[in-house]
Amino acid sequence: MLGIQPIHIIVVIVVALLIFGPERLPQIGRDLAHTLNEFRKGADEMTRSFTEEVAKPLDRQFAEPVLCKNCNAINPGDAAYCNKCGAKLG
């Protein structure tokens, strides 16, 4: 696992005990676990949002272009306002 051997883990635990002391180590472990869980939840939410966005129907992208009555600019079919002049479309 990433070149980490059991002796490396033991050394890290001993150094952590020396730096933080045995009374603070459980709280640090809980905080680290909480942080990792929050990170995992955020990553899952991003993945879910991305998957939903990709899975949306593509019919919006292929809607008929809309011509602005104010400046005659061609706009995407799902646009509510003109991209050139800002006038409200249809």
Burial per residue of 12-50, b for 16 or more beta-carbon CB atoms within 10 angstroms, e otherwise = eeeeeeeeeeeeeeeeeeeeeeeeeeeeeeeeeeeeeee
Q: What is the pLDDT of residues 63-89, one digit of tens each?
A: 788 899 999 999 988 888 999 999 998
Nearest residue to 13 (alpha-carbon basis) of 3, 24, 25, 2: 25
What values do phi and psi take at 73, rounded to 5? -80, 145
Predicted TM-score (pTM) of the model is: 0.48
List the domain boundaries for the chain: 6-56, 59-90
Determine the average pLDDT of the residues in 28-40: 94
Q: What share of the chain is helix, strand, coil (3-state, %, to 5)?
A: 55, 5, 40
